[in-house]
Amino acid sequence: MPSLDEKFRALAADYAPGQEVRQETGDLNSLMRGGKLEGIPVDFSHGDVDAFPPTPGSEVAWKDGFAIGGQQAYTEYRGAFQIREGLAERLGKFTGKPISGGKELIITPGTQGALFLALGATVTAGMKVAVVEPDYFANRKLVKFFGGELVPVPMHYLRASSENGPDLNRLEAAFKSGTKVLVFSSPNNPTGLVYSANSIEAIAELAARHNATVIVDQLYSRMLYSGEVYTHLRACDKQPENLICIMGPSKTESLSGYRLGVAFGTSMLIDRMERLQAIVSLRAAGYNQKVLDTWFLEPQGWLEKRIGEHEAIRDELLGIFRAASFPTFTPQAGSYLFPQLPPLDFDYQAFVRMLRHQAGVTVTPGTEFAPGYGDSIRLNFSQDRRAALAAAGRIVKMVNLYRNGARK
């Protein structure tokens, strides 16, 4: 049993997106090479909801919720019934298989809330849990918090496209050696890789065969770029007995300020998640829930336009990083880029802090996503286009200042 000190050391969040303001700048000035790089500061740690504002109508929906009063303030812990019914209908269509709004869906405080509840409902002390590397940093932290044992499954993304994706042999070996839960994101955070139909079908089949629970974080599955295809695990022929899918309107739709997410899947697990929600924070904020009535009902063409704008930024940033020879996967969906930096003669973690200090550019270090990714940085490119391109240019300049051999 780890002590509370150890447990909370493992939860260190100083490099987590949004927490950078709490870092001490300490000795950075004495280590700085050259002067500050001018330019509009850009915080790539999360999307800029001023550059890409919330979907139209969210504020009006919120006011409608407030006007309803007590009934909307005190919903069931799993969320207001009518809102769940509407969501179940629309998410069922989106994912290719009906959902029961009464039994198979819970509204949560953000997708983070959904992930916490899903892992809390499935992981207990000593349980082996397969976690993809690299993947969303909270997955590893959650498994550790609930006392589970991490079983890493590598995912490739800088190989030839046919070789990219999760290592299915390693996954099968994990299941064979008693792993009971798999959690992963597709589109993958931080790389933007969308798991192929082959991968998803294999995961479904393996989990069904080995009686393992699967938790799929599909947060970015709506922002799918030209020519890409998304495969929904819950619509596969083979089905694990226990499956939870997670989505939310915080990213593509810029509704993060409302803290809304949903989880849908096996009703026994949704029941557990609600029981846990009852002691965690009761429910997603009541009035805010009403905003979900606008989700998947955006004005005609709105989603296509938003995807197109992100695709344009993606392509320009890829151009900049590739011109600088940073190996970078072309995200198939979502708004994350995960470039690999060349060798520096400077600690990567310190470089990330220096980037913020000297160049006004905030990124998330690769170590947040798995050990061994210290040379990579994650950028959420849902940003003002011109500011983002200029900031990417500053990243390249900074790498040149701190790269191996730059200081002779």
Q: Which residues bind a second copy (CB under 8 A)?
A: 1, 3-4, 7-8, 11-13, 16-19, 21-22, 46, 48-50, 53, 59, 62-63, 65-66, 69-70, 72-77, 81, 108-110, 112-113, 116, 121-122, 124-126, 138, 141-142, 145, 147, 256-259, 271-272, 274-276, 278-288
Q: Closest separation between CB of residue 289 and a second copy, Å?
A: 9
Identity of residue 47:
G
- Give dist(CA 261, CA 114) in Å, integer: 6
Which CB, 156 or 272, lies closer to a second copy? 272
Q: How far is the C-alpha of 342 from the C-alpha of 323, rounded, in Å?
A: 13
The residue (of 286 and 331) whose beta carbon lies closer to a second copy is: 286
Q: Which is nearer to a second copy, 144 or 234 (CB)?
A: 144
Q: Are 387 and 42 in contact (CB under 8 A)?
A: yes
Q: Which is nearer to a second copy, 77 or 230 (CB)?
A: 77
Least spacing, CB of residue 275 vs a second copy, in Å: 4
Whose CA is closest to 108, among 291, 294, 234, 248? Answer: 248
What is the distance between the alpha carbons of residues 150 and 181, in angstroms, rounded to a whole number?
A: 10
Residues 6+ apart with CB under 8 A from 206: 168, 171, 172, 175, 212
CB of 2 to a second copy, least distance (A): 8
Name 247's bridge partners.
262
If the CB atoms of residues 153 and 270 are measured against a second copy, the closer one turns out to be 270
Nearer to a second copy, 206 or 273 (CB): 273
Residue 252, helix vs strand vs coil: coil
Tokens of 115: 């992930």
Q: In whole angstroms, what is the distance from residue 392 CA to residue 387 CA?
A: 9
CB atoms within 10 A of CB 286: 20
Shortest distance, CB of residue 352 to a second copy, whole angstroms?
Answer: 18
Query: Residue 5 CB, nearest distance to a second copy (Å)?
Result: 9
- Measured from the CB atom, the residue of 200 and 269 that comes closer to a second copy is 269
Q: How far is the CB of 408 from a second copy (least distance, A)?
A: 41
Smallest separation, CB 180 to a second copy (Å): 10
Which amino acid is it at 309?
E
Q: How far is CA 4 from CA 117, 142, 145, 342, in A?
A: 21, 15, 10, 38
